[in-house]
Amino acid sequence: MVSEIPTDFPDPTLAVTQSAYRASAILATLKGSDRVRGIQAMSEALQSAIEEILEANTLDLETSREMAMPELIVEWLKLTPERLNAAIEILNRLSELPDPTLRTINASYQIERSQTYCQLMPLGTIALIYEAFPELGAIAAGLCLKTGNSLILRGSSEASHTNTAIYQTLQLALEDAGLPIGCLETLPAESGSSIKDLVTKDRYLNLVIPYGRPSLVKQVTNLATAPVLRSAMGNCYLYWSDSGDLDVARWAIIDSHASEPDPVNAIEKVLVSRSQKSTSLVRLFNSLAEQGFQLRGDEQLVSDYPKQLSPADENEWGETYLAKIVAFKVVEDIEDAIAWMNRYSSGHADCLVSESYHESHLFARRIDSALVYINTSPRFSRNPKSGDSVFLGMSNQKGYRRGLVGLETLTTLKQVVQGDRRF
């Protein structure tokens, strides 16, 4: 039976967070094989419920269009069979990966006559507050179950029908698999509980992950008393050196926008060396325009290429477009480019196209970003073809959880000191 939010409880959010908190203590003691059984059950249940989930999504899309929601949100909300199957594939991949909570790491120091090591442990209770992206709830549920964490989903109102259909499908699967009640909870936007009600339950929440536009991330960060893992998307920069290959620069920009439905690492700003050839710039502008990009530029570039570029406002350099828009700006050299990026980029993925070893080395050392890409595309993938990793998103905050948000991100360290019984 699907757990319901008690309507007679004075604080529905408290009831849900307490339920998830109790479940997290049980999850932490379960074998990895038990949690894998739950992930497999969720995958099979989603596969069986594809038609019902897509029907629910159609209702949300119709409502959103009637309410004239921004096209960006409608695109994020749209749940195609391919997107839903991609989520199912991620759950299948998670079920095959090694149990991250069995990993041990050498401690940074040793104690005399003792063995000292660290072990990855579940965080406890995690809340995901997400804007559209209905399939993200299923992916987060798989990541949390794999790491032994309970999860509270707080989706947005525009995806209410789809979120409910996915949640009920997952919850029934988990109950059938014998997982503890409360390991997956939901607080719909229409339940009457605000975001503040949820993110201030730091007694029971160990981590809050906001996912959506920068305004949502900022709102959650400002309100929360529980720890927050800030996600980031858009406003990634690329510096195209005068020694850089045109085809590499063009491919990196176009490919970075190709992820669906959220091009997390999309290059939205391009800094070009003042020494860059005019013919190369025109070829790049024309190629991007043919791919449907809107092109903008600083005052100098717009003056030089008025047919290809429209003016970019000063405040745009530090803001995300979250659309197929790229703005270009002239800089003097690699030093100027690094200083500009460190000031205005979102700080989660910045790029360089250059054939200079000196520039590559300098860029890698001095860019203040979670990920640095040199002569390659920064395109984000939740389910890379190689390696033992599945990712929820990207974080641009400093500290232990900076960068790609994967299984290890949703764990913490416990230090163990094993003595030899001599004293």
- Mean pLDDT score, 138-159: 97
| In the predicted structure, residue 257 carries a pLDDT above the cut 80 | yes
DSSP element (H, E) containing 118: strand 114-122
Of the candidates 209, 253, 242, 247, the one whose C-alpha atom is nearest the C-alpha of residue 227 is 209
pLDDT digits (tens, 9 = 90+) for 382-397: 998 877 789 999 999 9
pLDDT digits (tens, 9 = 90+) for 21-36: 999 999 999 999 999 9
- Mean pLDDT score, 162-166: 97
| In the predicted structure, residue 4 carries a pLDDT above the cut 50 | no
| In the predicted structure, residue 423 carries a pLDDT above the cut 90 | no
Tokens 């013919």 found at: 279
pLDDT of residue 9: 54
pLDDT digits (tens, 9 = 90+) for 225-239: 999 999 999 999 999
Q: Higher-confidence residue: 11 or 95?
A: 95
pLDDT digits (tens, 9 = 90+) for 262-290: 889 999 999 999 999 999 999 999 999 99
pLDDT digits (tens, 9 = 90+) for 319-376: 999 999 999 999 999 999 999 999 999 999 999 999 999 999 999 999 999 999 999 9
User: What contacts 306, CB < 8 A, 6 or more positions away?
Assistant: none
The greatest distance separating any two alpha carbons of the chain, rounded to the nearest whole angstrom, comes to 81
pLDDT of residue 10: 66
pLDDT of residue 148: 97
Of the candidates 69, 49, 51, 47, the one whose C-alpha atom is nearest the C-alpha of residue 60 is 69
Residues of the chain above pLDDT 70, percent: 97
Residues of the chain above pLDDT 90, percent: 83
- Is pTM beyond 0.95 here? no
- Mean pLDDT score, 27-48: 97
| In the predicted structure, residue 110 carries a pLDDT above the cut 90 | no
- Mean pLDDT score, 295-306: 97
Q: How many helices (H) and strands (E) does the chain have?
A: 14, 16
Question: Considering the chain, what is the average pLDDT of its residues?
Answer: 93
pLDDT of residue 363: 98
pLDDT of residue 108: 80
Give the separation between CA 287 and CA 270, rounded to whole angstroms. Answer: 15
Report in angstroms the alpha-carbon separations of 271 from 231, 267, 330: 24, 11, 6
pLDDT of residue 355: 97
Domains in the chain, ordered, with CATH? 12-231+392-419 (3.40.605.10), 236-374 (3.40.309.10)
- Mean pLDDT score, 39-57: 97
- Mean pLDDT score, 390-412: 91
Q: Exposed/middle/buried for 50, CB within 10 Å: 0-12, 13-18, 19+? A: middle
Give the separation between CA 107 and CA 148, rounded to whole angstroms. Answer: 23
pLDDT of residue 2: 43
pLDDT of residue 6: 45
The first and second tokens of residue 316, run together, are 């745009």
